[in-house]
Structure 1
Amino acid sequence: MAKNFVIVESPTKAKTIGRFLGKDYVIKASMGHLRDLPSSKIGVDTKKNFQPTYVIPPDKQKTVTELKKNLKGHPKVWIATDEDREGEAIGWHLLQILELKDKDYERIVFHEITPEAIKAALKSPRKIDKRLFYAQQARRILDRLVGYKLSPLLWQKIRRGLSAGRVQSVAVRLLVEKEREIQAFKPEEYWKIKGLFLNSGKEEFTAELERYKGKKWQATNRKEADRVLDVIGEIKNYLVQSVEKKETHRTPPPPFTTSTLQQEASRKLGFSVKQTMLIAQQLYEGIELTEGSTGLITYMRTDSFNLATSALEQAKEVIQKEFGEEFTLDTPRHYQTKSKGAQEAHEAIRPTNLGLKPEELKKHLDARQYKLYDLIWKRTLATQMREAVLDNTIVTLIPTDQPNYEFIARGQIIKKPGFMRVYVEDTDDPEKALEDQEKLLPSLAEQEKCTRKKLEPSQHFTQPPAHYTEASLVKKLEAEGIGRPSTYAPTISTIIAREYVEKKNMELNGPGKYLIPTEIGTVVTDFLVKNFPDILDYGFTAKIEEELDEIAEGKLVWTKSLHSFYDPFAAILEIKAKTLKKFEEVTAEKCEKCGAPMVIKFGRFGKFMACHKYPECDFTRPLPEEEKKEKTLAKKFKDEKCEKCGAPMVVKRGCFGEFLACSAYPECKSTKAIANNTGVKCPECSKGEIVERKSKKGRIFYGCNQYPKCKFALWNKPTGKTCPKCKALLVAVNKSKLKCSECNYNQDIK
């Protein structure tokens, strides 16, 4: 019988490691955490120094039984869970569940699942690091205390079913404040004057009026622009006053950390943060190749820029082979991390074998795995390639009769592409990016005479701040020190799932990439900021993260950190629970039953109006705008009959908006969606039409009105036009772009 019993988190990881170890090892998976705080109660005794009560969830009982059974007869246990605080916590709980003493087990860690890494780990085992476990436990207890203490208050004062979270509520606050900043923004008008010129060789180039009497020029209205045109509009002869040439060097971005991988995968590939982490985990734990299950990337939860010496050497070999000596560094490039609490012993995210090119692996990977591996492979290589060298030219032109007006022409050529040959941030097409970044100017010399062909004024407006995307929110959270690499994905998923935030396309008012706070998200945020300012304070939240880092380093006792947070929090909570009134907006309208004021409240389906004297008076009505909408719909569907019993259908309101319901309810429970018809015929069944619908999570999509007979559906709104390449429907991406619903064709809307 095998002497060694190895425990990892997942079956895939177990399978991959199993390839490298011999018959002396049995490898089993814990399937993640085996113990946690109970779901039905708080599970933390705040009066006994935050003593937690851990339970084994029902769905984990079978795994625990199997692990205990398999443990028998194996004198040596190896805890091989992930090398982070969560992995250390899983390991600590395994010791408790399996009743293992120090002499019974060894803890091994590795950055990558390769034969070399596993064998090296087995040669340098350690014991469970309780400091890392205490840091994880402190985070878990903090989050439980905030959630379990604040959420009931939200239920009482605003609406049932609401929740608060230590990090999630701060993330929503960022979005709410950004939305208010955008709403408060007032665009300012300004004008530009651009000219088309010919040099002495009759070659065209453009330049823009930028300075007047040596100072920046900008018109705030058409009259100011016209005044300038009145002065220089008739002048055709211009002179090149100066030609400034400057060589600039561009350094490649550092290798991926968790947050930068999430950001770049969102920008370049359109992946959500959650998708990115899921796919990265698959690549880390192992993909089935010809030789068996193989880990393709290093551990994906890291905030370090470090690359192993072996990886640096291999990168140099691959660059020399694929791109040539002129792209290869003489000595490796190293990056210094700026991230707070970064663990420099860890590595950045990189391929475990840079010799495995994306194209060679394509047949073994699904489309998303291939795209993410390709991104990581190219970024890693780019970090060890030469700088890009660019020649920048700035030409100043002046009208011969009015030398105070200075037009500027800018040109840029890429002298040496360096790393940009393989990788340019924010684009998946480096070759096209190189072309786009080049702005060629004809040959121009000082004192050269040029001719003005035309001058064109153009109106512009200052733009509001951009809404957050998942990528920019992760960047902001990291910059503020809020959360850690492992928390970004669950935080964003949670605030979307709880409907505090929705992802929208602001141009089409449909699903998209921008994170927009909902009405209830805004109300909850305002409530928490007003009554619990510390909980939603960015600096305070970042300070807690720093304390968790100190616990992990053994510099701070975890219970001391919890006391410093919880004691003042509990005192405020007790006061607020007694003094806060239920959220209500008093209106000028009177109750039709008793004459008392009507107030606006939050219900399951959003805002509604209710009598202030509830529960003595139970009169309610929709908000005026909703009532108007319902009356319009009732008029529209007044002749609609129930398909089941023939009774009239009436308009009702649910969590996804208005719908038709049988008036004979509860005897007949027939319902029918009120759908906005796009006027586009279904391409699949040719009988139905495509209508706007909502998913169970409230996301808008477009499907055939013959459902369930026809299940054709699209996320983007169909236009009725067809793709010239494959004849599938063209759908709207935004106001200026269409794309094919099937192939990669896209076109601009003129």
Structure 2
Amino acid sequence: MKALYLNVCPNCGRGEEDQRLLKGLPCPVCFPYEVEPCSLPEKLQKLRKHCHFREKVKEFERFFEERFGSKPWNLQVYWAKRLILGRSFSILAPTGIGKTTFGAVAALFLGGRTYIMLPTSILVVQVERLLKRLGARNVVAYHADLSSREKKEAKERIAKGDFKILVATSMFLSKNFSLLEGKTFDFIFVDDVDSLLKKAKNVDKVLMLLGFTREEIDEALKAVEKPGQPVKVKRKRRGLLVVSSATAKPKTKRVKLFRYLLGFEVGMPIGGIRNVEDVAVFPAEENVVEAAVSLVKRFGGGALVFIPSDMGREKIGEVVEALRKAGVEAESYEKLDEKLIEKFTKGEIQALVGISSAKNPLARGLDLPQTIRYAVFAGVPKNRILLDFSSMTIPQCFAVMIAVKAFLEPNQANRYLWELKRYLTVDPEKNEKARLLLEEVRRFLAEALMKPEVLKRIEESPNLWLDRTPEGFALLIADAAGYLQASGRTSRLFAGGISRGASFLVVDNVKAFNDLKRRLSWFLDEAEFKPVEKVDLNRLFEEIDRDRRKIGELRAGRITEEEKSLVKPIMVVVESPNKARTIAGFFGRPARRKVGNLTVYEVNAENLVINIVATGGHIFDLTVGRGFHGVEVNEYVVPIFETIKKCVKCGEQFTGEPTCPRCKSEEFLDKLSVVEALRELAKEVEEVVLATDPDTEGEKIAYDVASMLKAFNDRIVRAEFHEVTRRAFTEALKATRNLDIHLVEGQTVRRVADRWVGFELSQHLWKIFGSRRLSAGRVQTPVLGWVIERTEEAKKKQGLLTVQADGFKVKLTIPDAEKAKELYETLEKVRVEGGEEWVETVNPPPPLSTDALIREASRIFGFDANLTMQLAQDLFESGVITYHRTDSIRVSTAGMSVAHRYMAENGMEELYKPRKWSEAGAHECIRPTRPVDVEQLRLMLYTGALRGRLTGKHLRLYDLIFKRFMASQAQEAEVKKRRFKVKVGDFEEVKEFTVEVLKEGFYRFIPVKVETLPEGEFEVSSKDLKLIPSKPYFTQGSLVEQMKERGIGRPSTYAVTVSRLLEHRYLVERKKFLFPTSLGIKVYSYLSQRFGSLVSEEFTRKLEEVMDRVERGEIDYNEHLLRLHQELKELLEANV
């Protein structure tokens, strides 16, 4: 392939061919020969800065190796790169990487005034020794172990500024800021941001030490309070700030000042990552406590023991005592206690006991990856809520309503849940709206739940436990968040991946256990408890202890050079900002920063530090004004690409123009800024992973990005995933590939053909009709012709006669409209004669492809094609359905597993019958990614297990996709059918009805209408006649269906084609039907007469077939484009 990209030479900014760009070379004007750019400094322009950066990185590596005798970690080099580039940032890194060592080395390497801020005096002493060992001079260290005289001398030196490096605690900053005020630091390294943020004003103090004024900080605070407000900061050199990630959510809003003034946010790398074996223990004769004690006695130290909230805190003492009697050293852990932690770490205490709640310090605040080996739950984590409707709080009402939603009126329950969610943290005593809502919900719940039949259904439920107590009814609700938080203490991120952990759940209540499993499935892709007897416990603990030894070796610095390369920083490029946000959320709370205009999400994932960034769709399009409509045609066809501009005022996207072609505005956003930001990011990382959408458009975007970045990073790979789930994403990162040039060429042929045909035909329309708003295209023109033809056919009418008699209603279709009128006038009686009856096996329909989704959403909901595709895009990016632009109905083994799990978990396993539906293609059908129906999806949204702004329309579309897919994997149905002959006057019609369902099968998901007719002659009680088209008008759905059947267009263009016809006012939509306008008829008439072969269905279909062959590598794309150009030229010359 040959292509020219304008204004992107990494050295001078001229245009450059893709082949040179992909070799990492500047344009031939800058460098006539293919040589390493940095080897010719006299030729350097923009690349001079990049070459200097590369040299500084090598200098850091040499600097590090000279002082330590070994190479730095990959991540330490990554952090150094960001400092060399002048960026402040938050460190997201697993334990044992050497963050503190990096801070010390960076202070020496940068050479300016530095403040290394540490959480404890012990660390201050250690870092001071390290700095002196590395040859640092003029270091002041302030800590608790100094004598009074030494403290006084240290403070005097600090006050005078007589130091190069200050090493002190964050507490020192709080208490002695007056000594530092007025001084500026070139570099501040905060080793424990949690300690810093204990005092909110510490944020201001750090910013002032970096050179920001009080006025600038106050200005930024206004933006924190009112997001969107611009922050004005004087352009001057500031110091650099590096902070470690938070382990708890910062309580102060002031932490957001880092975003507004330094361009980054503090991350919190917890939550989504776990490598825990979940084991279920069903005690036979022992009680729950005895079973828990037996487990701890068997597996030894490093144990956390959790008591369910419903048992009460007094149970903790009982468990501690039982453990001690069994010879296990155990202590209660109800508050942070440093001495207790120290004893536990040393092995003097074998088990810590606390409540299994996300709010409990044992579950929330303990991060000891080398020490904690396993967790034991003495009972299912659960909360007990007394159904006292006069005193229930908003959070209690919310929790109860989530639990019992299946027994409530759905519309009312959904409305209350959305409203309650808004007020979960609001005090109803201080907010009138919250108070009134609480009173209303209490009444609703009291009325709904106290009905005897409802109470009976709750008691019969497999996952709800209703206690009858002297105080009234109490509901036990499983605490999934508490379980995840507590069991997650056993599995932490470290330089070798995610440490192995074990969680033993001693089941005290089977219903609560079922409820817990159900709720965990909302948070985890695969939530499974294995019975203890089916787990190889010896092997499990070998894996657990192996990882603890590795962590210990890492912390002691006993690591090989190979192990230093275990954790790799990469950049993942996707198209959509929503998708970037969803992926980042899989791995905890990401560190967010700005590079140029791009938002970057940084997360930890096993042995990777991932920077996720979105292009916002296509970056390039064909230019205008050069070659043949943006394509040079000689011996080779060379498309000329230029970055896309978007008008700020009207939203028009364009290339090749100095102003907006629609409104003439000079204000526009140029995607060249995206290229520049991606290049800056590419410098930081070891590898760039192009994870754009899994289709030809996504491949072309990936090719564009690779071309732009090769000069800045030569390790660029492609990753492809068809669903936005953590499993699919991590699997894709392990199975990267090279770019598929055939797919890129296929998409280029499509774009060039669209441009040539579209621009040529459009220019003729502008001349004839005098309007530059008109356009034509190789797909939309024949489709317009179909609508015009169908409208003509629809002029022929037929009669739809509706007859009602003796409790039944029947509709008859009469082909002759005049005959229908006659029958209507004379109709008095209707006769029904019963006919043949038979049993029929009915196969389920296949799962949905794009065209079928658009058709069904149009038929059932009246959604237009654009709306359906936008809703599907949102569902895909939220991770709940697979890729929605597909012609395939194939079902993968993963898809079959989703269906099987859902049916098994919901008492329908006998319905399951797996089907592939198709063998061909890498793509899949559109299906759910989890065994979650629409009601469960609602609960996931309410509880925060699924983040995203999904509306009622999204949920309706999801329900359609879910039910259609489940039906496709279910048993056939068996029905009894019967024919009836209906006579009115001298007209008769045979009707066929399903009169009985003998075997439900897939009808469980897509119910069938069961109906019959009485036999005999009946007086007509009412009648109605409508004259309807003999052929129905097109809807958007049926038009897309026609495009698929006739081989025109692709899943990515179906909706776009219809919307363009409507935008250009060639079609109008009335009552969901499509009609041509007079303009549409005139345009089509002109084009079909002048350029009949060019706008014919046959031409477009053959072109689509050629594109498919190019994508498969069967034909040369250049030869095809040359031939297409010649055909167009001859045709256009003949029509001049």
TM bracket, shorter-chain basis: 0.5 to 0.7
Task: For 2:847, give the aligned amino acid.
Answer: P
Separation in 2, partners of 1:78, 1:524: 46
Q: Answer whether contact 1:209 1:405 (CA < 8 A) is retained.
A: no
Match of 2:967 among 382, 393, 413: 382
Deviations 1:119-176 (A, max 9, x none): 2212221100000000000011111111222222112223222221111112211112
In the superposition, relative to structure 1, how do residues 358 and 248 fare at CA in structure 2: closer, same or farther (>3 Å)? farther
Partner residue, 1:422: 1005
Alignment of 1:512-591 (within 5 A): 513-577=1072-1136
1:52 aligns with 2:639: yes
Match of 1:61 among 672, 678, 683: 672
Separation in 1, partners of 2:872, 2:994: 37
Separation in 1, partners of 2:1056, 2:907: 40
Alignment of 1:208-607 (within 5 A): 220=819, 243-286=835-878, 295-322=879-906, 324-326=908-910, 328-329=911-912, 331-336=913-918, 344-355=921-932, 357-363=936-942, 365-394=950-979, 412-415=994-997, 416-423=999-1006, 430=1007, 434=1008, 437-441=1009-1013, 463-505=1029-1071, 513-577=1072-1136
Separation in 1, partners of 2:578, 2:812: 62
Partner residue, 2:616: 31
In the superposition, relative to structure 1, how do residues 525 and 207 fare at CA in structure 2: closer, same or farther (>3 Å)? closer
Separation in 2, partners of 1:205, 1:149: 59
Separation in 1, partners of 2:770, 2:816: 54
1:176 aligns with 2:788: yes
In the superposition, relative to structure 1, how do residues 12 and 453 fare at CA in structure 2: closer, same or farther (>3 Å)? closer
In the superposition, relative to structure 1, how do residues 74 and 460 fare at CA in structure 2: closer, same or farther (>3 Å)? closer
Separation in 2, partners of 1:384, 1:390: 18
Q: SS at the partner of 1:36?
A: strand
How far did residue 51 of structure 1 move?
Answer: 1.1
How far did residue 485 of structure 1 move?
Answer: 0.4
Match of 1:77 among 657, 677, 688: 688
RMSD: 3.7
Q: Answer whether contact 1:279 1:372 (CA < 8 A) is retained.
A: yes
Separation in 2, partners of 1:206, 1:273: 34
Q: Answer whether contact 1:388 1:414 (CA < 8 A) is retained.
A: no
In the superposition, relative to structure 1, how do residues 467 and 3 fare at CA in structure 2: closer, same or farther (>3 Å)? same
Q: SS at the partner of 1:53?
A: strand
Further displaced range: 27-36 or 459-468? 459-468
Q: How many residues align structurally?
A: 515
How far did residue 496 of structure 1 move?
Answer: 1.3
Match of 2:763 among 141, 149, 152: 152
In the superposition, relative to structure 1, how do residues 492 and 39 fare at CA in structure 2: closer, same or farther (>3 Å)? farther
Task: For 1:86, give the aligned amino acid.
Answer: E
Q: SS at the partner of 2:838?
A: strand
Deviations 1:507-530 (A, max 9, x none): xxxxxx222111111111011111
Deviations 1:51-102 (A, max 9, x none): 1111123521221111111111322111111111001001111121112599
Q: Answer whether contact 2:900 2:909 (CA < 8 A) is retained.
A: no
Task: For 1:49, give the aligned amino acid.
Answer: Y
Partner residue, 1:585: none
Q: SS at the partner of 1:14?
A: helix
How far did residue 544 of structure 1 move?
Answer: 0.6
Task: For 1:347, give the aligned amino acid.
Answer: E
Task: For 1:250, give the aligned amino acid.
Answer: V
Separation in 2, partners of 1:384, 1:302: 19
How far did residue 39 of structure 1 move?
Answer: 4.6
Q: Answer whether contact 2:799 2:816 (CA < 8 A) is retained.
A: no
Q: For structure 1, list consecutive stretches of 5 or more residues without a partner in the other structure.
A: 198-203, 211-215, 287-294, 338-342, 424-429, 445-449, 506-512, 578-750
How far did residue 320 of structure 1 move?
Answer: 3.6
In the superposition, relative to structure 1, how do residues 529 and 324 fare at CA in structure 2: closer, same or farther (>3 Å)? same
How far did residue 369 of structure 1 move?
Answer: 2.0
How far did residue 16 of structure 1 move?
Answer: 2.6
1:165 aligns with 2:789: no
Q: SS at the partner of 2:846?
A: coil
Q: Answer whether contact 1:349 1:376 (CA < 8 A) is retained.
A: yes
Q: SS at the partner of 2:841?
A: strand
Q: SS at the partner of 1:89?
A: helix
Partner residue, 2:666: none
Q: Answer whether contact 1:208 1:408 (CA < 8 A) is retained.
A: no
Separation in 2, partners of 1:142, 1:55: 17
How far did residue 374 of structure 1 move?
Answer: 1.9
Separation in 2, partners of 1:149, 1:397: 57
Partner residue, 2:285: none
Task: For 2:883, give the aligned amino acid.
Answer: Y
Separation in 2, partners of 1:367, 1:480: 33
Deviations 1:18-75 (A, max 9, x none): 3345252222222222222125552111335321111123521221111111111322
Deviations 1:559-589 (A, max 9, x none): 2222333312212212322xxxxxxxxxxxx
Separation in 1, partners of 2:870, 2:916: 28
* TM-score when normalising by structure 2: 0.42
1:3 aligns with 2:569: yes
In the superposition, relative to structure 1, how do residues 53 and 252 fare at CA in structure 2: closer, same or farther (>3 Å)? same
Q: SS at the partner of 2:634?
A: helix
Q: SS at the partner of 2:887?
A: coil
Q: For structure 2, list consecutive stretches of 5 or more residues without a partner in the other structure.
A: 1-77, 79-567, 588-603, 646-669
Q: SS at the partner of 1:3?
A: strand
Separation in 2, partners of 1:261, 1:408: 32
Separation in 2, partners of 1:164, 1:209: 42
The higher-RCO structure (CA 8 Å, 6+ apart) is 1
In the superposition, relative to structure 1, how do residues 390 and 75 fare at CA in structure 2: closer, same or farther (>3 Å)? same
Q: SS at the partner of 1:467?
A: coil
How far did residue 422 of structure 1 move?
Answer: 2.2
Task: For 1:440, give the aligned amino acid.
Answer: T
* TM-score when normalising by structure 1: 0.62
Q: Answer whether contact 1:391 1:412 (CA < 8 A) is retained.
A: yes
Deviations 1:216-241 (A, max 9, x none): 99994788999999xxx9xx9x997x
